[in-house]
Structure 1
Amino acid sequence: ASAGYLNQEGIVKHTGYERFNFRINASMNINKHIKAGVNFAPTISSQDRGESEGKDKVIMTALTMIPTIGINEGTRSLGFSKFRKDDVNPYERLRQVTDSRNIKNFDVASWVEANIIKGLTFKSMFNYSSENRIDEYFLPLDVQKMSVKSATASSKVISGSRTGWQNTLSYDFTLWKKHQMNVLLGQSIENRSIYTADMKATDFPLDNVPTLNQGATPSQASTLKNIVRTASLFGRLSYNYDDKYLVSASMRRDGSSRFGPSNRWATFPSVSAGWKINSEEFMKDIEFISLLKLRASWGMSGNDRIGYSDYVSTFTTGNVAYGNTSQIAIYPTNYANSDLKWETTKAFDFGFDLSLFKNRIQLNVDYYINRTDDLLYNLQLPAATGFNSMRTNLASIENRGWEIDLTTTNINTRSFKWSSTLNLSGNKNKVLDLGGNDEIITDAWNAQFITKVGGPISQFYTYLTDGLLTEADFEVGADGRYNPNKPLVPTVKGKKQRPGNVKYVDVDGSGSIDNDDRVAYGSNEPDVMFGFTNRFTYKDFELSIFLRGQIGGNVLWIGARNLDTGGKYGANNTLRRWLHCYKEDYPNGNPIPTELGVDMSWDGKTPTPYGLGDNSEQDGQLHRTDLEIFDATFLRIQNVSLAYNMPKKWLNALGIKAAKIYGTVENLHTFTDYVGNPDTNSYSTNPMLRGADYNTYPLSRKYIFGVNVTF
């Protein structure tokens, strides 16, 4: 039995997570042929989430907030919005907003195993899990934009259960001493039921009464029940000859109710082989080789992780426009696709394992080729269809890569030991097909990503820059001054120009900068990912240091539009680098004041501040350029742990078998040239929106202290 309690305060004010969990594992021998067991694991958790990440959320508004305003000033009651009508006080918003999630989970698993005859074993496993989740949200009027006229509240209740039953029959036998074989047959079924109730309301008379029934304008409540069923039949045959030659083949047949009747079932075979060369007779005199094994495998797997009923049309009722009136009607809520089928991946892997000097040096090397066909994707649809998107089998993608794991025992004495593990990997993906399309452009709040056949998945779709405009890039008038209306180089069509603006690359040679000059640029895929662990033991002390990072790859800072604009909005806080921007011909001919007592000389690269008009493009400056795409290379001290094992002579008198005192620091430091966390992805659920940093939750440093005691 074990129990745990976690109370973690968030690094953003008024956020946190609390969890209590309990586990009991029990097993028994019913007789010499039959044994059984059961596991119970209830968990209760609560989370204050806050409104941290994304557009207009707390992290972004905290960064752009004017630093001279008090943190307790309300948006409306104390005039916080007098500078911009859509400014909100991030601290007060965190303090007043209710954004909670409470979850109760219960998991139970039981099993029985019977040895029928020698080598023949039957095992049956049954599991049940339930989850009850309540999400509550209340946004008071006082901490909303001035353009918003009422408070908002919502409540969502999700109740779900999952049951599974699996049976296997396994037979192990040996023929003529050297031929070891195993045959496995099995079946499994799983049922999942999910019930959701969603309610919303607005127009609350008081900000301090957040109950839904107080809202004068309740929106239509909705309830939804989904049932998902899966079933599988599988078998495996394994063969081992004299611990030299290893062969295994398997086959499984999977069915999922997420697909229509004609595409519900799919078959997934696999095969693998290995050769332990060190067991051969010709290797017996090479004593420094402990293991040398070649291995290869090929197999297919499937993915059915989509909505519960994407293949059929679902309907709801509500008000729709009919002529000049509003009528209650039944209308579809999704664009059904009856042709949906399993996403499949064919994986080939070849590698070898090498151990030297009684396993003091261990090396594992793999090279793989994975091809995914019929990629399940939520495709954006034109507005004329009446739907935002539809689920479809869209693409074929190939991944080629390699992995290297090296473990060494560097020092091994009686009192001191030092071992190291180095992990290296690299992957390159290539789009083979996009369902007949040459490319797909995907939007993500004022940013675009492009996926093209023949290229990697999800590249940034952006403008290229080439330094800054100077007076030499304009015609000179009779007065000896440059003419901003007569540039000598391609500029943004129809936009006012000035020296100090960004100079863009005219990719298509049209003579002006427009949408056709955007290109696929960079990728979030790193060249190399690595991890490096060192473990030290000195008498009763243990020290472990884990470093992690990557070389290459890019990240798009979407938040740059708000923060890295040189004070575009007039009252914004902004990055310090804008003190050193190009200052000639500033708005209305007024230079930036220099009486601030700081160096404000031009750094030779920062342009004139963006958005001197009503938007960023009125003076010829564009957003989403290569200037907002950064190198994602980083090195992180991921984990440092120090432990002390108390001597047994101290513990024996107390009836304690072992006791360890330890301390751990996680995310100690990250070395990177990027302004934020380069190892982030704001749209992680969409494979075609990779590498975006949209004001994500800060990476926290954790200090953990604990004691492990064994009785």
Structure 2
Amino acid sequence: MQKILPILVPLALAVTLPAYAQTRQATGQVLNATDRTPLPGVSVVLKGTTTGTATDPDGRFSLPLPADGNPVLIFSFVGFEPYEVKVGDNGTVPTVQLREKTTELNDVVVVGYGSQRKRDITGSVASISAEQVAETPIARADQILQGRVSGVQVTQTNSEPGGNVSIRIRGTNSINTGNEPLFVVDGFPGAGDLNSINPSDIESIEVLKDASATAIYGSRGANGVVLITTKKGKVGKGTINFEAYTGVQIVRHKYELMNAREFAQYLNDVNAGSTTLPQPYTQEQIDALGEGTDWQDAILRPARLSNYQLGFNGGTEETRYNLSFNLFDQEGIILNSGFKRGTVRLNLDKKISQKLSFNFSSQVAGTFEKRAFVNSQGGSFGGALLDALRFSPINPVRDENGNFTYSNTPLPYVEDVGNPVAFAEKVKDHRTTARGLFNVAANYELLPGLTLRVSGGLDYNNQQTDVFRPSDVFLGRLTGGSANRTQQNRYSWLNENTLTYDRKINNNNALNVVVGISEQQFYGNDFNSSVNNFFTNTLGSDNLALGANIQTPNSGKYTNTLASYFGRVNYRLFEKYLFTVTMRADGSSRFGANNKWGYFPSAAFAYRLIDEPFMKDLTYLSDLKLRVGYGVTGNQEINNYQSLARYDVGSYAAGTTRLVGLVPANIGNPDLRWESTAASNAGIDVAFLENRISITADAYYKKTTDLLLRVATPRTTGYGDILLNAGSVENKGFEFALNTTNFDTEAFGWKTNLNFSLNRNKVLDLYSVTELPVGASSSSLFVGAGLGNTSILREGEPIGSFYGYEFDGIWQTQEEITASGTKTAVRPGDPRYKDQNGDGSITAADRVIIGRAQPKFIYGVTNGFSMGGFNLSIFIQGVQGQDVLNLNRYELESGITTTNKLKTVVDRWTGPGTSNTIPRAGSTIRRSTGIVSDVLEDGSFVRLKTVTLGYTLPKFSKVLKQASVYVTAQNLVTITNYTGYDPEVNSFGRDNLSLNTDYNAFPSTRSFTAGVKIGF
């Protein structure tokens, strides 16, 4: 052995030393190209060998390499495109960024009571991801739908912070009942107002549009369904995410009003020739006046906007969590207005065993609104904004002593209204809401593929409104100060039990069956108390006992129940023939004793033509699927107890005693039942060039029958109307969505999303009449001014048809008036209207349809660009062919002759040939006539809605996983011919019968924000 060792040792060294010399290390890091976060578990293999490793939790790797040459490494990871890179001479590898595969067809889409692969969908379903939600700083979750989903029209009915939006999915189905979609948050249907939902918590939004998709929700599916899924915990190392943004809002557009000099001259012209009053101003006084007070500037301000979000996410295979905290604060551009929201959300998923798991989702939220523009002059409309448009610019905001100018002067030449700045600063109108939304579910696998799910939920909503009008402002002068407090409690509980069988039977057959039962109960109680004649304003409404005059309080309580049975079968044959059948039975306490239950079936079929063998040669096609479906859904959105004969409280005075009793309120209808919408849909999904171009197109037809319609009754009944199932409405339309990947390289990316929709609405039947004048203004302050109804329901015409007189210029001379033979008392300078029936008089019989509120089509275009760490998103929204009734112009061009006017009135008629559009000063013909075509405007617009520029910082710390900054501009540019604050408006909110009406609407804003996102 001693003789052999001297030989073996040098030999071993000769072998091992060269081998040692030929070995070196390749090191580097792998990131997700989308958000530049580390990717653990990525396979790293030396090309041409089996030598490999995997990245650690920070995405880093180390791999031994041969000494010679420039070897190539192959990186691969599930869900990502494979990537190859050549190693440098010194063994260094540039940071690798893996791009996610384009596998949209295998994406899972949430549907009612389950989920499906996108490739297996048979109905019309649109989806919005968390990334799309995060692109735009928004206050409400439903705002993200605007312009981003075909077939969905979203209107910001009120731009006030915390204000509502109105959503129409495939048109307006109903006349007297709700047209808003059903919102389902984490499986809880009927989530209602979304003001308390934090948009940053949303993982995805699905919009179910056709009957085959919505029929699973039966009596609440006729107006479409919006499914909101919040973020869940993800398996892996816990993460902490923080986001903050802040910005400023400015008014987008103002009315151009008369200045002090112009208004003084206008008042003189109004009173010219008066035998009872001298002219209010001498020419010398007028010449001495300047611009005066711009009351819009006095009450409008730049307003700040801020949002803070802190989230914790993580977990194991057994327990996953997502916890978030949010604070949102938005000032209103009108003084003393704003909206605040604070939320806490906790979502937990717990796997007890291989068969048993639990899911828990919860959110607690509080909101606070300060409103400064409603309830002025004691009416349903008005406030600081309306008074700012009407108040004399000759008056200052404060007098020489620094006190607010109390009211408008000089009387009686001007309308007696209060100082709008004093109103905004001193009148209190607050609304506070506390809401909790909870849902818990247990899932147990009874047999392979068969799962039982039992869930329970609670939605609690407490709202308090607090109003105080002090005695030292104009609004409170007549009552000596007044206070009102309203308390509303709303809550509902839900229990749902489902069985799901999901099994691939063999290579050619797959079956998914869901059956379930559901019960949901709704409760509510209200209390309202009002007091006036306060001897001090010090405590406001905090002590109602300080008011000497106590008004009669009101209170109420209600409940209703919805019980349901439902089922759905999805069958997949040969991976290309897709069948869906759905049935739901709903029983509602809202309907008559003879019709408590309604039944809502649907069926759909889809044919994946792309999977046929004869399509294989069409290599440019990536996907081709044809869809057809038909179903029946319902609408139950009426007030409680409408089918019953009810009583109201009645009272009268007997001397000094108030006697209280009951009076019949309505005629009962035991046959009252659901509105029923039968809908058919035909669609196509097609994609080209490996899904770089994808198109979805749908055509649909909907007919709603058994409308819940208020029908006039003979006076002999003692009632004005009765709620019946009568009449029908149709909607038909076309939708188109295009998604393209224009460039997709390491250096530059560009994607485009476009959607286009058109809908045609028509009233088919109105039961006992062929037309019915309607409009919310029929119950507003305009009644006393003779405005009357603004719209008409007419068979063969769409809902939202404006009804009034056709403007025909200005009467120029007395000779012209005499020659016309008109019997209407007019003077030169008064507006002229078309005598449609030729009887020589302008009467109600001369009214015609002068415009339509519903647009011809709507669209939206989003372009997203990426270059290095930069990303840019540009979103354009458009509405074409809608009319807007500008009732502000109705007031500010003539109307009340003693208020300030638009600048256009400076060029009013002053003699023959001077104007054929603006009447003479003091003309009241327009106001006493009713709705006229010259205040109906084209409300079409194209809006650069959102522009966001972001930058993702390079990774510079092991602790910091992601950091980015961004700036966003909203409502940057609006191209429109509309002269009001904004063409996207409806002062009557979600009222179906007064669409696109602009009167004292909160001005829209242009906003600029800057934000940061940090992940640990």
Using structure 2 for the length normalisation, give the TM-score. 0.63
CA distance in 2, matches of 1:632, 1:617: 22
String of CA shifts for 1:658-687, please: whole Å, max 9, x gaps.
Answer: 222222222222111111211111223321
Letter in 1 for 2:908: C
Quote the offset at 1:528 in angstroms: 1.3
Tell me the equivalent position of 2:819: 488
Q: Does 1:459 align with 2:787?
A: no
SS in structure 1 at match of 2:840: coil
1:87 paired with 2:417, answer: yes
Q: State the match for 1:584 in structure 2.
A: 911
The equivalent residue for 1:63 is 389
Report the AA paired with residue 667 of structure 1: N
The answer to whether 1:647 aligns with 2:954 is: yes
**1:276 maps to 2:608:** yes
Matched residue, 1:559: 888
Query: Does residue 468 of structure 1 match 2:810?
Result: yes
- Report the counterpart of residue 119 of structure 1 in structure 2: 449
Give me the whole-angstrom Cα distance separating, in 2, the residues matched to 1:424 and 1:375. 29
1:51 pairs with 2:373: yes
Aligned to 1:597: none
Q: CA deviation at 1:610?
A: 5.5
Residue pair 1:77, 1:142 contacting (<8 A) in 2 also = no
Gapped runs of 5+ residues in structure 1?
Answer: 476-481, 586-600
1:418 is aligned to 2:750: yes
Within 5 Å, give how 1:187-586 maps onto structure 2.
Answer: 187-210=517-540, 211-320=543-652, 327-334=659-666, 336-377=668-709, 391-443=723-775, 444=777, 445=782, 446=787, 447-471=789-813, 474-475=814-815, 487-489=818-820, 491=822, 493-498=823-828, 500-565=829-894, 568-570=896-898, 572-584=899-911
Deviates more, 1:244-253 or 1:461-470: 461-470
- Alignment deviations for residues 453-508 of structure 1 (CA, whole Å, 9 cap, x no partner): 1111121111012223233xx43xxxxxx7xxx621254x442321x332221101
Does the 8 Å CA contact 1:52/1:696 hold for their aligned counterparts? Answer: no
Q: Structure 1 residues 205-214 or 632-641, which shifts more?
A: 205-214
1:156 is aligned, of 486, 490, 497, to: 486
1:335 to 1:559, Cα distance in 2 relative to 1, 3 A: farther
1:7 aligns with 2:329: yes
Does structure 2 retain, via aligned residues, the 8 Å contact 1:578–1:606?
A: no
Residue equivalent to 1:679: 984
Report deviation, 1:78.
3.7
In structure 1, give the amino acid aligned to 2:888: G
1:577–1:285: structure 2 CA closer, same or farther, 3 Å change rule? same
CA contact (8 A) 1:25 1:39 kept: yes
Cα distance 1:610–1:378, how it changes in 2: closer, same or farther (>3 A)? farther
Q: Distance in 2 between matches of 1:514 and 1:317?
A: 39
Give the aligned length.
673
Inter-partner Cα distance in structure 2 for 1:231 and 1:124: 16
Q: Which residue is equivalent to 2:996? A: 691
Alignment check: 8 A CA contact 1:611 1:617 kept: no
Corresponding position: 1:40 with 2:369: no
Structure 1 residue 82, shift from structure 2 partner: 4.2
Amino acid aligned to 2:763: V
Q: Name the structure with the higher strand share.
A: 1
In 2, the alpha carbon distance for the partners of 1:117 and 1:111 equals: 19
* Counterpart among 963, 966, 976 of residue 659 in structure 1: 963
Moved more, 693-702 or 171-180: 171-180
- Are the structure 2 counterparts of residues 549 and 380 from structure 1 closer, same or farther at C-alpha, using a change threshold of 3 Å? farther
Q: How far off its partner does 1:325 sit?
A: 8.3
Instruction: Tell me the distance in 2 between the aligned counterparts of 1:201 and 1:381.
Output: 38
Q: In structure 1, how many angstroms separate the alpha carbons of the residues matched to 2:712 and 2:473?
A: 33
Whether 2:486 is the aligned partner of 1:175: answer: no
592, 606, 612: which is aligned to 2:917? 606
Distance 2:444 2:396 in 1: 70
Cα shift readout 1:29-86 (whole Å, capped 9, x = no counterpart): 1111111121221101111012248633322211122223222469997453543453
Aligned counterparts of 1:348 and 1:391: Cα–Cα separation in 2: 28
Taking the aligned partners of 2:730 and 2:636, their CA distance within structure 1 comes to 19
Counterpart secondary structure, 1:533? strand
Instruction: Mark the CA change 1:635 to 1:617 in structure 2 (over 3 Å): closer, same or farther.
Output: closer
SS in 1 for 2:878: strand
Larger helix proportion, structure 1 or 2? 2
Residues in 2 aligned to 1:377 and 1:102: alpha-carbon distance in whole angstroms: 34
User: Could you tell me how far apart the structure 1 residues matched to 2:867 and 2:811 are?
Assistant: 62
1:698-709 → structure 2 map (5 Å cutoff): 698-709=1003-1014
* Mapped partners of 2:665, 2:688: distance in 1: 62
**Are residues 523 and 617 of structure 1, via their aligned partners in 2, closer, same or farther at CA, if it must alter by over 3 Å?**
closer
Alignment correspondent of 2:272:
none
Q: Equivalents in 2 of 1:379, 1:561: separation in Å?
A: 31
- Correspondence for 1:21: 343
Give 1:414 shift. Answer: 1.1
TM-score by structure 1 length?
0.89
The farther-off stretch of 334-343 and 324-333 is 324-333
**In the TM superposition, what whole-angstrom CA distance separates every residue of 1:579-615 from its partner, at most 9, and x where no partner exists?**
1122128xxxxxxxxxxxxxxx94x433333644xx4
Provide, for residues 169-221 of structure 1, a one-character-per-residue CA deviation record: whole Å limited to 9, x for no partner.
01122334201111111111111111111111222233444332222221111
Q: Give, in angstroms, the shift of residue 107 of structure 1.
A: 1.7
Pairwise CA distance, 1:345: 1.1
Measured after TM superposition, the shift of residue 94 of structure 1 is 1.3
Any idea what SS the aligned residue of 2:957 has? helix
Unaligned runs of 5+ in 2: 1-322
Structure with larger Rg: 2
SS at match of 1:627: helix
- My pick for the range that moved more, 219-228 or 174-183, is 174-183
Paired with 1:43 and 1:634, the residues of 2 have a C-alpha distance of 35
Deviations 1:321-363 (A, max 9, x none): 6799853222245554443211111111111011000111111
Residue identity opposite 2:885 in structure 1: L
Instruction: Please give the alpha-carbon distance, in whole angstroms, between the structure 2 residues aligned to 1:432 and 1:668.
Output: 41
Distance 1:336 1:148, change over 3 A: farther
Determine helix, strand or coil for the equivalent of 1:509.
coil
Q: Distance in 2 between matches of 1:250 and 1:260?
A: 25
Task: Work out which structure has the larger RCO, using CA pairs closer than 8 Å and 6 or more positions apart in sequence.
Answer: 2
Task: Give the conservation status (yes or no) of the 8 Å contact 2:831–2:925.
Answer: no
Does the CA contact (< 8 Å) of 2:678 and 2:704 recur in 1? yes
Check the 8 A contact 1:154/1:199 in 2, yes or no.
yes
Q: What CA distance in whole angstroms lies between the structure 1 residues aligned with 2:772 and 2:739?
A: 43
2:190 maps to: none
AA aligned opposite 2:339 = Y
RMSD over aligned CA atoms reads 2.6
* Further displaced range: 335-344 or 142-151: 142-151
Q: What is the CA–CA distance in structure 2 between the aligned matches of 1:378 and 1:227, rounded to whole Å?
A: 23
In 2, Cα distance between the equivalents of 1:92 and 1:382? 49
Take 2:811 and 2:439, find their aligned partners in 1: how far apart are those partners?
Answer: 68
SS at match of 2:904: helix
Give the C-alpha shift of residue 275 in structure 1. Answer: 0.7
Shift of 1:132: 1.3
Amino acid corresponding to residue 897 of structure 2 in structure 1 = Y
Q: Do the aligned partners of 1:490 and 1:506 also contact (CA within 8 Å) in 2?
A: no
Q: 1:75, 1:511 → 2: CA distance?
A: 54
Tell me what 1:143 maps to.
473
